[in-house]
Amino acid sequence: MVDVSKGGAPGGPGVNLTKGQAISLEKKGGGTLTAVRMGLGWQAAPRRGLFGSRTREIDLDASAVLFADKQPVDVVFFRHLVSDDGSVRHTGDNLVGGAGQGGDDEAILVDLQRIPVHIDQIVFTVNSFTGQTFQEVQNAFCRIVDETNGQELARYTLDGGGQYTAQIMAKVHRVGSGWQMTALGNPANGRTFQDLMPSILPHL
Amino acid sequence: MTAELVRGQNHPLPHTRLEIRVTAGAPVMACATLADAQGTVGGTEWIVHPGSPSLPGIEVSRQAAAGLRFHVDLDALPPRVHLVHVLLALPEGVGGPDRFGATAAPFAAVTSTEGVEVASFTLTGLDSETAVIALELYRRQGAWKVRAVGQGYAGGLAELFGDQGLPQARAFAAGIQEAVARHLASAVQAPLPGATDGGRRRSEGLPLAPQPAPAPQSAPDTVPPAGPPSSGPPSSGGPQSGAGGAVNYTHPGRRTSTPPPPPPAAEPAQPGRPPRPVAGDATGWSMDERLYNQVWGMFEDLARTTAAYRSAMDFAESRLDQELDRVLSDPRQRIGGAGHAAREAARAKHDQLAGRAREVLDRDLAQLVAESEVVEPALPPAYARWDNPVWHGYRVPMEIPMALRLGDVHLPERPDLRIPMLVRLPLERGLWVDSGRSGSEAALMMDDAQLRGLAMDTAVAHAARLLAVYPPGEFTVHVIDPAGSGARSLAPLTASGVLDQPPATGAGGVATVLATLTQRVDLVQMAIRGGAAESLPPGLDTAEQLLIVNDFPHGFDDRAVTQLRYLADEGPAVGVHLLMVADREDASAYGPVLDPLWRTLLRVTPVPDDHLADPWVGHAWTYEPPTVPPGSRVLLQILEQVASARRSWRR
């Protein structure tokens, strides 16, 4: 495990994760987390040259795949916004990204207490539905927020994006009676989460 | 969950039957333009506006108001239509503000037909504009989505239509303005000066008891004395803007200066225990609405919690199967104790997971049972079971409640946890009480006559409840009982005098009733289409109509069947509903011709039957009809009160 280093401004919340780094989702000062939000935000990179103000729309989609013992059991994405058990909810598809506000453009809410007992891992992915690679995206990030108080627990920046259209962001998995998050940050290619399944399986 | 859209943002639409609600700081009118895949508006006949308010699948209000709502059925739109723009414009020459900047930002929301908000958009930043494209509904890869647009036009509708490529935009826009002005001039006086919320009269600011007391929620004495009920067509949405062009500029959402009473707060939980549930612990402007939302919340929670349990159990089973298979296929484990130990280990894993799943389910069920125990006694009559004491304090209401209880639903995991099945009023579809043997155990235990009698009793109980929760004179029941076989079941209705006409018998009676109702639907539709509600004949009964049909298709000729299908299709939109008591087998001679009729009706049963699916996970729920406690006279007593209120209302 990599050292957890404080990121951002001094005293700023959260932790900037690096690939493969794991953090425990336990509250500072005891108590376990009850609800977390996986937020995704991005902006389309402006085009160079003439008509540079005309940015092209980029549609990134956040998805969460629920696994029980390495078998996919349920998926939450823009066509299935709530897991059958109601514990994981997607706030809805955003087709264009943020206009620079820096907030979450898509978010997936996870009610950790209500996740069915057999679900032991949840993998979060990001896909470019419109097919642009992450080179054309700027200010993209994925973060985990404690939904009960809005505090940012961890942030993963998607910059330095390469020639790929998807990323397996992170997984939240059971450890003992609590949950832990591991940043994965693995590039992949695909339009929706289905295309990513082969790339997800090695991370379980 | 509501998505609050910002300009340019879009959101998928989970249903194709939607309602669009608009509130603004001043009366606005709504129009909609339809366009094909290329975004071309085919001409003025592709536009719905106050002068020509309906096209297949979409209908807007004929008037300008500060609160508007209208229905969209995306499936019913012509297949060529790929794009629907929802426009708002300020009416001209009626003394209102002359630009959107002079009033509060308009707010538009897309909701399901149950009123659950899907997406909303506040049109901020408007200034000198007098017309604006608020929302865009569009087809993308076969699915519909909504996008927040917010594009304003200082040149008003004329400029907006011109932008959409309409050749005579200016004259067309002027025609719309004229239609609105004409309508405002002839607007009906709003009968109730009380608070209105989206066209539904409701008393706000009722002295609400926060404790779950079985107090009747409708307190007639706090409502100002009502004049005759609204004589506008039943489908007109939105609050009426005052008479004679005097426009009421108050925001419907801010009609009262005092906020609605806060929902009863749950007591702080004891550490380590879930909070004690409280009745009315949901959002809403009135206790009725809060309880409605709470009941639907319990319904969803039970559906989801059971889904979690079932999926955990399925997983445990399939993992056990796989592991046992593996043990069997491994030759080394076939002999000796290793195989035995492996099997035991697999079973232990299964039992451990199953035990934990059951533990979580029991925890959730206990919470829902506790909630149900406080919610049931607090329900108003329209939502309450027949054995609820609230019926003893029943008084004829002055306003239509939000919803009606059609029965209970439960799941096999906890049969005693019954969720009220509430449907919105006015009814959106007719009802069908199935008197056939549908395969449910309870139906197989009975003989034919018993089942039919029970079906008719159930239908009468539904009709009685509808009569009881509507204000006097706003709900009329007709009965067709061709062979007179339902006479015993119908006794509470006939004896109490709530029926205007005795049940129609014989082929002649069937024909007369159907002809009257068909003519009514046709007249009201014509009046709505022509924008001339005031030209309806003076004798026309403006109440909602319910037609109980027993023994279908006995006594029906082909013409009567066709009329019945017409009523089923066209009736609900103009307040005419069917309550069929029928065994589908009896009508099998008609073949598939009647399938659409059965499909348009909501099927309920006279005995418990697991045929209802929830909208979230699709579990099969067991429906139980509401039963009057044996020996209880509650039904008759209430109908007598209704009948006497109807008599004094008519005088």
User: Cα-flanking dihedrals φ and ψ of residue B216, to 5°?
Assistant: -65, 130
Confidence bin at A46 (pLDDT 50/70/90):
low
User: What confidence tens digit (pLDDT) does each residue in B325-371 have?
Assistant: 888 887 776 666 778 888 899 999 999 999 999 999 999 999 999 99
Residue A10, in any domain of the structure: no
pTM of the full structure: 0.65
* SS3 assignment for B74-125: HHHCCCCCCEEEEEEECCCCCCCCCCHHHCCCCEEEEEECCCCEEEEEECCC
What's the CATH code, domain B3-185?
Answer: 2.60.60.30
Instruction: Assign residue A133 the CATH number of its domain.
Output: 2.60.60.30
Of A78, A99, A118, the CB nearest to B312: A118
Residue A2, in any domain of the structure: no
pLDDT confidence of residue A27: 62
What is each CA distance from A178 to A113, B313, B353, in whole angstroms? 10, 21, 16
Q: How far apart are CA B260 and CA B281, in angstroms?
A: 14
pLDDT confidence of residue B478: 95
Residues B272-280: what's their mean pLDDT?
73
Q: Which residues of A touch B11 (CB under 8 A)?
A: 92-93
Which positions ≥6 away from B209 have C-beta within 8 Å? B215
Kindly report the number of other CB atoms within 10 A of residue B301's CB atom: 19
pLDDT confidence of residue B253: 47
Retrieve residue B274's tokens: 């879930």
Confidence bin at A162 (pLDDT 50/70/90):
confident
Residues B81-98: what's their mean pLDDT?
84
Q: What percent of chain B has pLDDT over 70?
A: 84
Q: What b/e readout covers A113-148, taking b as 16+ CB neighbours within 10 angstroms?
A: ebbbbbbbbbbbbbbbbbebbbebbbbbbbbbbbbe
Residues B28-53: what's their mean pLDDT?
86
Residues B43-47: what's their mean pLDDT?
85
Lowest mean pLDDT among B7-11, B246-250, B356-360, B541-545: B246-250
pLDDT confidence of residue B50: 85
Which of B238-242, B477-481, B615-619 is most confident? B477-481
Which positions ≥6 away from B424 have C-beta within 8 Å? B113, B114, B115, B402, B403
Confidence bin at B278 (pLDDT 50/70/90):
confident
Residues B440-455: what's their mean pLDDT?
83
Instruction: Say which residue, B92 or B546, is predicted with more confidence.
Output: B546
What's the CATH code, domain B428-533+540-650?
Answer: 3.40.50
User: What confidence tens digit (pLDDT) does each residue in B167-196 have?
Assistant: 888 888 888 888 777 766 544 333 333 333
CB contact under 8 A, B311 and A91: no
Would you list the domain boundaries of chain B?
A: 3-185, 287-378, 428-533+540-650
Cβ under 8 Å to A: B residues 407-466: none
Q: Please, what is the average pLDDT of chain A?
A: 77
Give the angle subtended at the CA of B564 by the CAs of B560 and B566, to the nearest 5°.
115
Q: Does A19 touch chain B (CB under 8 A)?
A: no
Confidence bin at B582 (pLDDT 50/70/90):
very high
pLDDT over 60 at B557, yes or no: yes
Q: Does A2 touch chain B (CB under 8 A)?
A: no
Confidence bin at B318 (pLDDT 50/70/90):
very high
Instruction: Say which residue, B388 or A57, is predicted with more confidence.
Output: B388
CB contact under 8 A, A86 and B301: yes
Q: How far apart are CA B379 and CA B216, in angstroms?
A: 8
Q: Which residues of A touch B10 (CB under 8 A)?
A: 93-96
Cβ under 8 Å to A: B residues 357-386: 357, 360
Residue A26, in any domain of the structure: yes
pLDDT confidence of residue B439: 65
pLDDT confidence of residue B212: 33
**Interaxial angle between packed helices B337-378 and B287-329, expressed in degrees from 0 to 180 and rounded to the nearest 10:** 170
Residue for token pair 């062009």:
B245
* Structural domain count of chain A: 1
Residue A68, in any domain of the structure: yes
Q: Which SS3 state, helix, strand or coil, does residue B36 take?
A: coil
pLDDT confidence of residue B491: 93
- For an interface test with B, the pick among A34, A85, A113, A114 (most B C-beta atoms closer than 10 Å) comes out as A85
Residue A11, in any domain of the structure: no
pLDDT confidence of residue B623: 93
Of A74, A92, A118, the CB nearest to B316: A118
pLDDT confidence of residue A20: 66
Lowest mean pLDDT among A23-27, A99-103, A188-192, B430-434: A99-103
CB contact under 8 A, A118 and B8: no
pLDDT over 70 at B226, yes or no: no
Lowest mean pLDDT among B218-227, B340-349, B610-619: B218-227
Residue A87 belongs to domain spanning = 22-48+57-203
pLDDT over 50 at B230, yes or no: no
Helix and strand totals (H; E) in chain A: 1, 11
pLDDT confidence of residue B416: 93
